[in-house]
Amino acid sequence: MPELPDIDIYIEKLDERINGRTLENIRIGSPFLVRSFDPPLNDATGRKVTALRRIGKRLAINLEPDYWLVLHLMVAGRLQWHDDNVSISGKTKLAAFDFTSGSLLLTEAGSRKKASLYLVRGEAALSEHDPGGVEPLECTVDEFAARLTAENRTMKRALTNPRALSGIGNAYSDEILHAACLSPVKLTSTLSGEEMKRLFDATRSVLTRARETLRQDAGENFPKKVTAFRKEMAVHGKFGLPCPACGAPIARIRYKRNETNYCPGCQTGGRILKDRSLSRLLKDDWPDTL
């Protein structure tokens, strides 16, 4: 799922291309994409773009005077920019937004179509799409700590809770916890003041560095390879590979369609965390340590 760094770069590149331009047409390739009916989607056409905003992991486009297109890409949704009108024929093409400067194409890979599009009017209606998490690159360490400890959760769940922190998902939570040398299953209530400060600094460092890397990769172009698995990542998607910090093999916890990647050497004192499926299968043969 595109997270804070990815959405921020999408917004930067879209701002260069559509801010001040008129939305001439919206072409829908999948009827399941549109999740609102009032105001009707046709009300958005013929209006000029005045601003763009990230709301958690959502991308919002402001149209004069007070309309907002709200896009949630979910796991497999991606954006492409075309200088000319683009076809929306094909299973992966959900919609095209035609501006006077070019067309923005929304695609979604796979059969589970979860991406969504809303048209709302006014700040109050827009705020209903905001889960309420604080911005991790704008808040203070005290605000950060207050949100994380409001509920006693594991570190992984706390970082990815959109009501606590804005824009962090599965991929960058792995990277943040590795950078902070903290276990993904450590409870927020057990964090010391020093550990909380370390986590705060790691969050800002990882997200800032990731955003800058994406910005440099894109250059003057629109981002083409938005993925949760990047070569510069330390642990996410690196199961079985050596940790770049200590050399220990990266381990994982698998659950449903997600997995948590971590380094036992850096984060858990050498302890191997139980995997829900494999640990049940192996039982007493499950390794406790490296």
Q: Model-level pTM?
A: 0.93
Given the candidates 3.20.190.10, 3.40.1350.10, 1.10.10.10, 3.30.200.20, the CATH classification of the domain at 4-127 is 3.20.190.10
Type of residue numbered 275: D
Q: What is the pLDDT of residue 113?
A: 84
Q: Let me know: does 260 contact 236? Beta carbons within 8 Å.
A: no
| Residues 183, 2, 197, 288, Cα dihedral to 10° | 0
Q: What is the CATH number of domain 141-285?
A: 1.10.8.50
Q: What is the pLDDT of residues 48-89, one digit of tens each?
A: 999 999 999 999 999 999 999 999 999 999 999 999 989 999
Query: What ranges do the domains of the chain cover?
Result: 4-127, 141-285
Q: Is 260's pLDDT higher than 90?
A: yes
The Cα–Cα gap between 55 and 52 comes to 10
Residue located via tokens 């959502």: 58
